[in-house]
Chains A and B, each alone.
Chain A
Amino acid sequence: MIPAAAAVQRPTDAKLLVVDASGHITHRDRVDFPALIEAGDLVIANDAATLPASLFGVHLPTGRPIEVRLAGTRTLLARERARFTAVAFGEGDFRTPTEHRPAPPAFDAGDVLQLGPLRAMVVNVLGHPRLIEIEFQHSIAETWEGLARHGRPIQYAYLQEPLAIWDTWTPIAAAPVAFEAPSAGFILDWRVIAAIRARGAAFATITHAAGISSTGDADVDALLPLDEPYFIPESTASRIATTRRRSGRIIAVGTTVVRALEDAAARHGHVRGGTGVATLRVSRLTPLRVVDALVTGQHEPDTSHYELLRAFLNDVVLERVTDEANARHYRTHEFGDSLFIAVRRAGPAKAGHYVCGPAKAGRYVCGDSGNSPDGQR
């Protein structure tokens, strides 16, 4: 697979690799995505808008230039002084792949960083010299203004041109809480949403503060994904309940939606409205309690994103998916081609045997409706 080198959200030649509930693979044009949606399905996307999370400035104790990339937070929209987990880099910009960037200066708790108009204090060093917790020394309004005016979206070395903030907002972007774009949502525009409705399916959103996806530093990347706060609107929770009662499928747009919904379901037995912090790492061991299908980007093996796919596909099918994507030159990364995985066919589920679909789908762990506390699924 090759990285998509241009920041075009919906290239007309984008491809979609489709894995059906039997593990069978087909290839489609991505514009045909709505044709995969059936009446009664519920499509759920992450409506987080992307923060300009890359801040250049100076480490005041040493006077050395640094780049700080906000990478995660515990609260969606802070009301007090804003604290973030951040990844720090030494001098240089996105033209240098992050793995070749110089290390940042050694941080101590209490160090002050001047990031354009913003002052931030290092609160903690988090188990790796690049990974710090910082707190902005400003009111929330000043922090928003400083981020909005001084921050730039996190850049990618594989792109030819610098990313502008508008390249990173999906058409449905709402609350500015994501550190990198929830890029699976690039598949959506308002016509696609209308087409989903026209097929008799419904559309809903959650807000999930998608954290940084990779840093180029294997030790830091091993700590990803960080904990991510999310918000599930009551309206979305009730649509999920209705959809499942009527045996429609829950189709997640993006892995962040999977993480939020499955985290909520793992905690409460079902998806309820409200805020939460996703600590669940979705992997081959994660039973899918809620999500029946996923549309997502194409990503390289050895990423946390790829690991999440193991909750949907067994190793044999996943390897075939990767081989086919390579053979057909699927483009990877945020602006690349897409992957659709269904683990359950549309239409009424068999009683007492919910998510797996036919055994051939090869999911690792199948839930059993008998065990769920509220009797859903």
Chain B
Amino acid sequence: MSALDISGLRVAITGGTSGLGLALVRRLLDRGAQVAFVARGRDGVERVRRELPRAHGIVGDVSRKEDIHPIAIQMLGALGGLDVLVNNASSLGPVPLAPLADTECEDLELALATNVVGPFRLTKVLLGALAASARDGRAPLVVNISSDAAINAYPGWGAYGASKAALHHLSRIWNEELMAEGIRVISIDPGDMDTPLHALAVPDADRSQLKSPDTAAGELVALIAAHIRASQRVLESAR
């Protein structure tokens, strides 16, 4: 690639039919990226496909081991490779939120499966494609969507917070280990957003106090663009 840019970037986003994921799909398409998105529900995927025919919709559940390779095959088949993976799909754990003492083990397991093991599996199976992107000088990036609940101990957010803490730390270690392959892994907290997930967690929240997913998506796209520019500078100085 002569000039690295969002345009032409091959991006895959999980949880792409609502909230931050959908806002990201829209914004990245607007900037000329090739985008594949994943969601569990076929109806939601069809709805977004109708709204955004250039996006590649994939039905799949990242918390299910059996779905990971079918998701990856469709992503790589549609995009022909991968430069950016956004692990955005998340599970709250118990709904409504519950203190850990009242959290069913199965709800904790679901949060871990969706928020930690799923992103781990998907990242791992896509590492070959990401490393190929790096060898082509395309500065591949994995963005794991985290939360301030990964850092702070909010009562009631035990399953979610613990799983996001694990994802956050996983991201940091991936990032150290994949440096040599030229793959960057970051974990970011987009802030409290007005999303279906937030509404499930805090049904009586004052929505006017919440960030819009579109604003958060704009910040994330700016961050991806900055990463690409920085990588390009590194590549140029290495020449």
Contacts and interface: CB of A to CB of B under 8 A. Distances in A.
B56 interface: yes
Given A145-B58, A148-B69, A173-B128, A204 B76 contact: no
A294 interface: no
Given A172-B131, A173-B128, A51 B73 contact: yes
B76 A176 contact: yes
Contacts of B59: 145
Nearest to B180: A194
A204 B135 CA distance: 8
A260 B69 CA distance: 26
Contact of A47 (B74, B125, B128, B137): B128
Given A52-B73, A176-B73, A194-B180, A47 B132 contact: yes
A148 B70 contact: yes
Interface residues of A, number: 32
Interface stretch (B27-35, B77-85, B201-209): B77-85
Contacts of B224: none
A104 interface: no
B137 A169 contact: no
Contact of A205 (B74, B76, B135, B137): B135
B4 interface: no
Given A147-B73, A166-B69, A175 B135 contact: no
Contact of A175 (B56, B80, B136, B181): B80
Contacts of B135: 204-205, 233, 235-236
Contacts of A174: 76, 81, 128-129, 131-132
A76 to B, nearest CB: 8
B149 interface: no
Interface of A: 47, 49, 51-52, 77, 140-141, 144-145, 147-149, 165-166, 169-176, 190, 193-194, 197, 204-205, 233-236
14 contacts: A47-B132, A49-B72, A49-B73, A49-B128, A51-B73, A141-B56, A141-B78, A169-B128, A171-B127, A171-B128, A172-B127, A172-B128, A172-B131, A176-B72
B69 A145 contact: no
Interface string B75-102: 0111011000000000000000000000
Interface string B26-52: 000000000000000000000000000
A79 B71 CA distance: 19
B70 A149 contact: yes
Contacts of A204: 135
A173 B72 CA distance: 11
A140 B80 CA distance: 12
A147 B72 CA distance: 12
Nearest to A176: B73
A274 to B, nearest CB: 13
Given A49-B72, A144-B78, 20 more contacts: A49-B73, A49-B128, A140-B77, A141-B56, A141-B74, A145-B58, A145-B74, A147-B73, A148-B71, A165-B69, A172-B128, A173-B125, A174-B129, A175-B80, A176-B72, A176-B73, A190-B177, A193-B181, A194-B180, A233-B135
